[in-house]
Structure 1
Amino acid sequence: MPMLRVVLATTLALAAAAPLAQAANAPTVDDSPFLWATVNICDTTKHPDTIGIRASMPGSGNAKERMYMRFQVQYWRDSVKKWAPTDATVDSGYQAVGSAKYKRRESGWNFSLTPPPEGQTYRLRGIVSYQWRIGKKVVRSASKRTHSGHKNTQGADPKTFSAAECTITR
């Protein structure tokens, strides 16, 4: 009888561990190819002194969830060799982008900046924060910094522009 208990206990332990192992190997929202951010406008003739950020987020398939994105700009502080947040004028706040029942949602935000002083340069990048909510409760969240490689983003200037950073020089 003691041997039967050991076998039974081992079997139950393995059965309980299987879902945990599957969950550990399951893809997370951070691994989704639909979760990305890019700079799609950077100081062009049509958009002078402007950085545009475009982003995508995956839906969960749950029609009760709503998706939100927050677009922010960071600048490179050469004196300390670190990225730093800018002021509140380059923060979109959380923007509703639709129901999570869809496979994915895209949105974007353009920020018009005061040009740098003559002879100076702004080195900028975007940070996008994502939230999935049911009512006011955040049920999932993620964050991405801008990367290149998203060549067909809506509103890009020029049409195929996609970059990790934006440099504005005077």
Structure 2
Amino acid sequence: MNRRTKIVAVAAAVLLTLGAGGIAAASVDEAPAPAAARAAVSEAAALTGTAKLYRPAGDDITFTFDAHLAEKDRQDPMKATGTFRFSHYKGDWGGYAKVKVDCLTTGGKVAVVSGVVVETDVKEFKKARVGVTVHDDANGDRLGYTWMTADPKKDKVPPCISGAPFEKVKEGTGDFKVVPWEFVYPTE
């Protein structure tokens, strides 16, 4: 082999070795973090899932949640993100709403989420803030909402406010999951 060919071959071998080393280093850096590190980047609170409400008259009422509070925002539930949707239909009557989350608090298996309606076909709900409470219970999920007692057209609902979870979820439809929020109290 002539000198020029040897230099090219050695250079290629060095580049391949460095490239493989770089890939190996990148792979080590991208390996799953230990459990303690994963816990440090977990959510501070969350409410997810879908359920239909129980109504003996046959109404089709569905709630779906995808609300989250990032760990970095643990102390400020008004930095929650996500959406929730609800719909109520019976025969040819009904409507739906999509809500942009503006607050999420949870305690144990209970969550309160509020937000502003960003999409709807019900004029009373346009741009209204609404709140929903969910109780994630193994014996049957329950749900409550602000428009039971507040008129979305004229009553101003504050963030993080809703009614008690008085509605029963239709058996076999509830898959709510509440990640409990833990407020960190100042020590000084």
- Please give the TM-score of this superposition, normalised by the length of structure 2: 0.34
Q: Quick check: which has more Rg, 1 or 2?
A: 2
Higher relative CO (CA 8 A, sep ≥ 6), structure 1 or 2? Answer: 1
The answer to which structure has the higher strand fraction is 1
The answer to which structure has the higher helix fraction is 2
